[in-house]
């Protein structure tokens, strides 16, 4: 088999001393396959000075990076526009953020076509070629590739929720985008519920024939399947058991200075429910004065898509609510909310996971949410408070599940978590760990490619 991966970003980046691999779940899962079997990774070229084709590593190459160079206008329309201001909010049911701008879909069309052309140039149509496309940035390229290569094996993995058909059809271009996706042989989603939504969208909006999870359209068959993504379990376990992590966790507990620590770790995105979570924590403090001075909430938010107004707005809102809570409740040396707007290393995150008594993971919607799995793997006796509107919730019944829109319920869950008996905490965590072990990201990639 020779593999061509198509993703928005390429997996390598320039460092102070040359080139290196970008860290991330997708690169971790797919690079070993590319390195072992050889192949190509197609992604956007954001900087015009970089070459379109680069063998990596330079001294003894085992795969090729193929860039599709994008102008600033193209990046704005295709990435910031169509992907981030249309497909992202729609798939997360947050349609108040939808910007239905005609230029966005026009640019998305032409950029997807250029990605497809790059794939066609990099592959020769031989029988053992597998093309694996990633995510909502590339809905139309499968259709273009299929048109030129009827025999190609094409897969797609959709990392975010596929919304209910009645929500997806809000898009004026819903049918065109679905047709593009149906150029694939296999489309993967995190959970069955998204598979069902996709199949229903194809059946209702295109009149496609459906037999279980097989969709027939225009003489071609596409399967939709659930392939829940995982983390690199072994590496996380090893890191969590490193004695230096325990030391870091201890230092962190001392810095927080309270018996109870609750953490939240997210990209700063309006889908992640950070603002509602803060309001719930405020409610918890209002209703439980006995916890004043006894609990710290440590929230990290990584800067994300900072060019967009909706992200600047959520940043201001979170800043404001943090200030208000601390202004209202802080006393002596106690600061109720410790908020950091920055990125940390995985090693640092691991220490936070280990030190926490509870993790508040409460997105308004999330395809999977892998922070959940990182916390479960690193924690010894922490409680996971998890939004039921995440893919992870379908797989992790032992979590303390909450509706992220229900602030009273969230506030109560914080109290329940902090007062949970140790044996119940351990029992729940044991069940969670067993599931997360099976969701390993290497299994995810292997299982998807086998199915493809």
Closer residue to ligand ADQ (CB): 116 or 370: 370
**Cα separation, 368 vs 378, whole angstroms:** 18
Nearest to 371 by CA among 272, 259, 225: 272
Closer residue to ligand ADQ (CB): 144 or 272: 272
Smallest distance, ligand ADQ to C-beta of residue 389, A = 11
> What secondary structure letter does DSSP report for 52?
S
Smallest distance, ligand ADQ to C-beta of residue 230, A = 10
Closer residue to ligand ADQ (CB): 31 or 152: 31
**Cα separation, 6 vs 116, whole angstroms:** 9
**Cα separation, 121 vs 116, whole angstroms:** 9
First to last CA, the chain: 11
Contact 12, 19 (CB under 8 A): yes
> What secondary structure letter does DSSP report for 106?
H
Smallest distance, ligand ADQ to C-beta of residue 225, A = 15
Q: At what angle do helices 141-148 and 102-122 cross, to 10 degrees?
A: 40
Smallest distance, ligand ADQ to C-beta of residue 300, A = 4
Closer residue to ligand ADQ (CB): 418 or 439: 439
Smallest distance, ligand ADQ to C-beta of residue 159, A = 4
Closer residue to ligand ADQ (CB): 175 or 275: 275
DSSP code string of 179-207: HHHTT-SEEEESSHHHHHHHHHHHHHHH-
Site string for ligand ADQ, 53-72 (x = CB under 6 A): --------------------
Smallest distance, ligand ADQ to C-beta of residue 120, A = 27
Smallest distance, ligand ADQ to C-beta of residue 26, A = 7
Contact 282, 320 (CB under 8 A): no
Closer residue to ligand ADQ (CB): 74 or 266: 266
362 binds ligand ADQ (CB under 6 A): no
Site string for ligand ADQ, 11-30 (x = CB under 6 A): --------------x-----
Smallest distance, ligand ADQ to C-beta of residue 160, A = 5
Phi, psi (deg, nearest 5) at residue 134: -115, 125
Smallest distance, ligand ADQ to C-beta of residue 267, A = 5
Using CB under 6 A, which residues numbered 158 to 217 contact ligand ADQ?
Answer: 159-160
Among 29, 33, 224, 229, binds ligand ADQ (CB under 6 A): 229
**Alpha carbon 219 to its chain's center:** 33
300 binds ligand ADQ (CB under 6 A): yes
Number of chain positions touching ligand ADQ (CB under 6 A): 19
Using CB under 6 A, which residues numbered 103 to 162 contact ligand ADQ?
Answer: 159-160
374 binds ligand ADQ (CB under 6 A): yes
Nearest to 165 by CA among 205, 105, 135: 205
Closer residue to ligand ADQ (CB): 191 or 418: 191
Q: Which range, of 32-40, 212-220, 366-374, 422-430, touches ligand ADQ by CB under 6 A? A: 366-374
Query: Pairing state of beta strands 260-267 and 358-361?
Result: parallel
Reading across the β-sheet that carries 337-340, which strands appear in turn? 337-340, 295-302, 260-267, 358-361, 383-387, 400-402
Q: Where are the alpha helices (DSSP H) in 264-308?
A: 274-287
Where does this chain bind ligand ADQ (CB under 6 A)? 25, 159-160, 229, 265-267, 300, 302, 343-344, 349, 366-371, 374
């Amino acid at each position: 088999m020779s593999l061509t991966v198509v993703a928005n970003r390429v997996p390598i980046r320039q460092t102070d001393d040359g080139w290196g691999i970008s860290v991330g779940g997708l690169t971790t899962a797919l690079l070993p396959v590319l390195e072992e079997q050889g192949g190509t990774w197609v992604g956007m070229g954001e900087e015009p000075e970089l070459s379109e084709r680069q063998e990596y590593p330079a001294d003894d190459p085992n795969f090729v990076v193929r860039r599709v160079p994008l102008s600033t206008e193209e990046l704005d329309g295709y990435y910031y526009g169509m992907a981030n201001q249309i497909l992202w909010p729609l798939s997360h049911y947050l349609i108040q953020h939808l910007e239905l701008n005609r230029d966005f879909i026009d640019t998305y069309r032409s950029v997807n076509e250029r990605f497809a052309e790059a794939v066609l140039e990099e592959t020769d149509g031989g029988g053992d070629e597998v093309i694996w496309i990633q995510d909502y940035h590339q809905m139309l390229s499968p259709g273009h590739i299929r048109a030129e290569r009827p025999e190609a094996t094409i897969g797609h993995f959709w990392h975010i929720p596929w919304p209910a058909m009645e929500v997806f059809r809000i898009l004026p271009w819903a049918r065109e985008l679905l047709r593009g996706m149906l150029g694939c042989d296999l489309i993967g989603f995190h959970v069955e519920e998204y598979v069902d939504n996709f199949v229903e969208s194809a059946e209702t909006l295109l009149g496609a024939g459906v037999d279980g999870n097989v969709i027939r359209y225009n003489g071609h068959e596409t399967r939709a399947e659930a392939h829940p993504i995982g983390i690199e379990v072994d590496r996380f376990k090893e890191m969590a058991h490193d004695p230096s992590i325990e030391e870091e966790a201890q230092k962190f507990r001392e810095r927080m200075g309270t018996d109870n620590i609750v953490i939240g770790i997210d990209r700063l995105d309006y889908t992640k429910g950070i603002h509602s979570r803060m309001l719930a924590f405020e409610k918890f403090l209002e209703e439980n004065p006995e916890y004043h001075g006894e609990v710290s909430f440590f929230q990290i938010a990584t800067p994300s898509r900072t060019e967009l107004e909706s992200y600047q707005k959520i940043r201001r809102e979170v800043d404001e609510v943090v200030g208000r809570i601390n202004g209202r409740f802080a006393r002596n040396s106690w600061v109720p909310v410790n908020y950091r707007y920055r990125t940390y290393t995985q090693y640092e995150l691991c220490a936070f996971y280990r030190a926490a008594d509870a993790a508040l993971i409460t997105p308004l919607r999330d395809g999977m949410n892998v922070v959940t799995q990182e916390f479960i793997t690193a924690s010894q006796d922490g409680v996971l408070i998890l939004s039921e509107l995440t893919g992870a919730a379908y797989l992790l019944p032992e979590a303390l599940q909450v509706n992220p829109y229900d602030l009273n319920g969230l506030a109560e869950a914080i109290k329940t978590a902090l007062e949970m008996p140790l044996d119940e905490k351990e029992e729940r965590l044991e069940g969670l760990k067993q599931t997360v072990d099976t969701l390993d990201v290497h299994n995810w990639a292997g299982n998807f490619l086998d199915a493809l």
